[in-house]
Amino acid sequence: MHVVITGANRGIGAALMDSYAARGDSVTGTARQPGELARLDVTDPDSHAAFARDLDGRAVDLLICNAGVYLDKGQELGDGYPPQMWADSFAVNVTGVFMTIQNLLPNLQSARRARIAIISSQMASDTRAPGGSYIYRASKAAALNLGRNLATDLKPLGIAVGIYHPGWVRTDMGGDAADITVEQSAAGLEARFDSLDLDTSGCFQTWDGQDHPY
């Protein structure tokens, strides 16, 4: 199986890459900056085109859209959340997801059992509204909506789409007080991705297998 993971240079993406490689799958991890991983700036159309060319038509069995940013942590309502922060966040968390899927669609169609996993968050849910983090919440809600609609359009092509809350994870984004390790999150997500099929396409699930309210 060939797995492509965006934002695989750290955190959950790196843990997923290590896990899939350990079980013998072929993994292409990407990062914004050039280095050991394949270069992909999810906000840059030219970078997407170059990455797709480098794959040279190779089938992608599982695409994990993991790259994301949380730029508005700690912002105050009275004087925070500047417009450029909104634009930068949506460019990665929403548009970046769409462009990744759009550019790799031919590779996904070449796979026998293609699946797309979009890493969203419980903060995307309309049922959770504790306030704050307006940009991040809005962008992850948009990613959830995007995934749900893509599931409808891609089902006739045989491509399943799932949207996932990875848990509150001890990463640079989640902080040291978070509930679970990246290894726990990755193991749970891997199980969720393995079970994703056309019957469950459009699901919004937690890392540990619970259906999350929209």
Tell me whether residue 23 is in a domain: yes
Q: What are phi and psi of 161, to 5 degrees?
A: -130, 130
Residue 194: which pLDDT band, with cuts at 50, 70 and 90?
Answer: very high
* CA neighbor of 76 nearest in space, from 138, 135, 122, 126: 135
Q: How many CB atoms lie within 10 A of CB 49?
A: 12
Residue 127: which pLDDT band, with cuts at 50, 70 and 90?
Answer: confident
Residue 173: which pLDDT band, with cuts at 50, 70 and 90?
Answer: low
Mean pLDDT taken over the chain: 94
Relative to beta strand 2-5, strand 62-65 is parallel
pLDDT at residue 81 tops 60: yes
Q: How far is CA 77 from the centre of its chain?
A: 27
pLDDT at residue 115 tops 90: yes
Helices 45-55/96-109 angle, 10° precision: 20
Tell me whether residue 165 is in a domain: yes
Tell me whether residue 13 is in a domain: yes
Tell me whether residue 176 is in a domain: yes
Tell me whether residue 214 is in a domain: no
Q: How many domains, in total, are found in the chain?
A: 1
Looking at residue 174, its pLDDT comes to: 56
Tell me whether residue 213 is in a domain: no
Rounded to whole angstroms, how far apart are CA atoms 67 and 65? 6
Q: Is 28:195 a contact under the CB 8 Å cutoff? A: no
pTM for the full predicted model:
0.94
Rounded to whole angstroms, how far apart are CA atoms 48 and 88? 17
Rounded to whole angstroms, how far apart are CA atoms 138 and 142? 6
Query: What is the CATH classification number for the domain harbouring 48?
Result: 3.40.50.720
pLDDT at residue 125 tops 90: no
- The residue length of the chain stands at 214
pLDDT tens string 27-53: 999 999 988 899 999 999 999 999 999
Tell me whether residue 212 is in a domain: no
pLDDT at residue 26 tops 80: yes
Kindly provide the residue ranges of all beta strands, DSSP E only, lying in 114-166, ordered along the sequence: 114-119, 159-165
**Domain range enclosing 189:** 2-206
Better pLDDT: 189 or 123: 189
